Structure 1
Amino acid sequence: MTVVRGWPSLTVALNDRTSPARSFIQERFGRWQDLQARYREAVGPLAVPGGQANAGTIGCAFDWMVRFMVHPRPDLRLALIGVRIPLVRQAVHELARMLGYPDRDGSGGVGTAQFSGPVAGSEADHQLLARACWALALLTDLYRVGPTPGSPLMALAPRSITAEKLLDLASPAAVEELRALRASAERVLLPALAARRGAWALGPTFAGSSVMNADADLIAAGLLLELKTGLGSKRRDGTRRSSLEAPIIMQLLGYVLLDFSDEFAINAVGVYNARYAHLATWCLSELLAELAGRPVDVKEERAAFHDLLASGSA
């Protein structure tokens, strides 16, 4: 199948109301009001309030934290892609060795992205791991959005960066918030994933990702899972509530559609909001039928989405 390049990332496309990709998903699977109502009713109160740490970095750091919770040495290449200075790359490899990665020919291992799970997670000290995840999140942002004014990374002299200096970027407030988010995941998320035996993937990309850049958080034996740390909206009394927003639904569907070859055999999708210690999962075929208002042939929908991308009408 030949596909024309030139599309924005999936996230960007779904945030653009004029995007044909967004229209494709919304027109075919836009009946999500009942799903959203059920989600709101099921979610409990806020369990982990926000703190002084940057919310965006916390979200990315928690993604890294979960990867280490489900595998002892997750793939670190996402944090290395945006790094161009050799000494900084060396510091990341040094950090990897501190976390138990093997040293391969002096270069350091970058870890595993796909494996047969579930397996035991990292045995690294929890505080060390939280600080490391914060550093990996900052490095990931460097790749995703480029050098950002105000980023703690920008305050470091590139030629003097070491693993210890990367670890020192995490404030006590950031470490404490990640500790609380980890505790909720250990209580709610990990037990739910423990029964999912089969092929797992961390930060998976899809056949369609070469055209429309997209990488999900986690696939556990057919369950495509998005990790969220959003605080939710405020009620009139000042308390917070979580909601299943349309962009999140469309994002999950976008990942499913971009898996053109059914490489990951996705049969369920879900959202885990760590701040609410709430996990919601849905059988894919049942969810698609509800959102479409009719039985859905996933293979046909993927082919139609592929044809849309192949048209080059970004």
Structure 2
Amino acid sequence: MSLTRHLSSKDSPIRQFVYESAPQLALAGTRGRRGQEIASSFGFDQLLSLKTQLPIPEDVKDRQSHATVAGTALDYRLRMDLPDFDFVETVAQRGLDVLASDTAVVHRGKHIHKVLEMALGFAYLTWKDKNSDPLSLDRASIPLAWCESIARIGPHDALSGALGQRVKRAKTAVDLMMNIDDPLLFDIALMRRAVGPLLDEWNRGFEVGVDYVANPRFLGSMAVGGADADWAVGDMLVELKTREEITSPWLRDTLFQLLGYALLDLDDSLGIRRVGILLPRQPHFAVWTLDDLLQKDADEALPRLRAAFAGLLTSER
């Protein structure tokens, strides 16, 4: 079971442990004056007041599917602008490999695999071309998102609906890529442009030695389905969230997701002491220290918490 599924289940001992690690945060945004006061102390008020400047385009019919693909594709698009992006090591490539291992799991699986494999090749060449324009890179991020869905939810579930039909209809990868919906393409482009200054700031830091890890995994990841975060930038763990509506319960849950990742770093290999949520639709970048979330000195608290967490993870396997 994934970390996010554990955290969404009130009966999960893993959720109970993570929430008990930060009891003040667990109360943030709950009903009543006390919950509001605690939420305010964590800076939720500022985030709740943000206006969504880049909403999902109005002409999108399936908003949930659009939001999922746009969010994953934007993650890939931003990583293309950051150091050491490696197609071979992506979850997208893993998804394509999963499909290759058993193409019979979905109707016309061989054709789907061939077209998606060629589409990833097209995306790779686009990224490698130093003269590629930004919109071409935006387009290249979308097949990566499609293939990642195969790894995340399995080839049958990922390809039995609209995505599978789209790929089946495409005669070639070029046909598939050129028929990407304009609202999806331009949504990614606008969000990428909105966070461009932050990427520039990060890249300047990387040039002078700030550490960077894309899709970091942790020593405890395999105990919860191979959990991986979006980025580790210096001592900060960052999650990209393309959500339109910001609410206190959602902020609380997202911070517990990040705290869960920090606890999974059992050997402190990443030195995480801050967490951040990147909100491109608002756009805004919010940062908290682990001292603030735990309401205690993280350097002192983390060894004890991680040791106890490791014992729990072992007992749950």
Is it true that 1:202 corresponds to 2:207 in the alignment?
no
Letter in 2 for 1:180: L
Unmatched runs of 5 consecutive residues or more in structure 2? 29-36, 101-112
TM-score (norm 2): 0.78
Q: 2:150 corresponds to which residue?
A: 142
**Deviates most, 249-258 or 140-149:** 140-149
Secondary structure (helix, strand or coil) at the match of 1:144 reads helix
Q: 1:30 corresponds to which residue?
A: 23
Secondary structure (helix, strand or coil) at the match of 1:204 reads coil
2-structure distance, mates of 1:208, 1:159: 41
Is it true that 1:152 corresponds to 2:163 in the alignment?
yes
The answer on whether the counterparts of 2:87 and 2:93 sit within 8 Å (CA) in structure 1 is: no
The answer on whether the counterparts of 1:40 and 1:243 sit within 8 Å (CA) in structure 2 is: no
2-structure distance, mates of 1:72, 1:293: 33
TM-aligned CA deviation for residue 288 of structure 1: 3.7
TM-aligned CA deviation for residue 298 of structure 1: 0.6
1-structure distance, mates of 2:245, 2:170: 40
Secondary structure (helix, strand or coil) at the match of 2:81 reads helix
2:121 to 72, 80, 93: 93
1:268 to 274, 279, 299: 274
CA displacement 1:163-208 (0-9 Å, x = unmatched) = x244235211111111110111013454366436422111111111
Q: 1:14 corresponds to which residue?
A: 7
Is it true that 1:212 corresponds to 2:205 in the alignment?
no
Distance 1:173 1:260, change over 3 A: same
Q: 2:235 corresponds to which residue?
A: 222
Q: Higher relative contact order by CA 8 Å / sep ≥ 6: 1 or 2?
A: 1
1:40 to 27, 45, 49: 45
1-structure distance, mates of 2:305, 2:128: 43
Unmatched runs of 5 consecutive residues or more in structure 1? 1-7, 102-121, 234-240
* Higher share in helix: 2
Identity of aligned residues (%): 25
Task: Kindly report which structure 2 residues correspond to 1:174-185, keeping only aligned pairs within 5 A, or say none.
Answer: 174-185=184-195
Task: Kindly report which structure 2 residues correspond to 1:184-195, keeping only aligned pairs within 5 A, or say none.
Answer: 184-188=194-198, 190-191=200-201, 194-195=204-205
TM-aligned CA deviation for residue 227 of structure 1: 0.6
Q: 1:171 corresponds to which residue?
A: 181
2-structure distance, mates of 1:29, 1:288: 6
For the aligned residues, what is the CA RMSD?
A: 2.7
TM-aligned CA deviation for residue 245 of structure 1: 2.2
1-structure distance, mates of 2:204, 2:264: 26
2-structure distance, mates of 1:215, 1:123: 32
Distance 1:294 1:255, change over 3 A: closer
2-structure distance, mates of 1:272, 1:248: 11
TM-score (norm 1): 0.78
Q: Give the total of aligned pairs.
A: 276
CA displacement 1:218-273 (0-9 Å, x = unmatched) = 0111210011100115xxxxxxx787522201100110011111111112111111
CA displacement 1:10-57 (0-9 Å, x = unmatched) = 011011111000000112213122563223325532111112261111
Is it true that 1:133 corresponds to 2:126 in the alignment?
no
TM-aligned CA deviation for residue 63 of structure 1: 0.9
Secondary structure (helix, strand or coil) at the match of 1:130 reads helix
The answer on whether the counterparts of 1:228 and 1:272 sit within 8 Å (CA) in structure 2 is: yes
Q: 2:302 corresponds to which residue?
A: 298
TM-aligned CA deviation for residue 295 of structure 1: 8.4
**Deviates most, 79-88 or 292-301:** 292-301
**Deviates most, 139-148 or 292-301:** 292-301
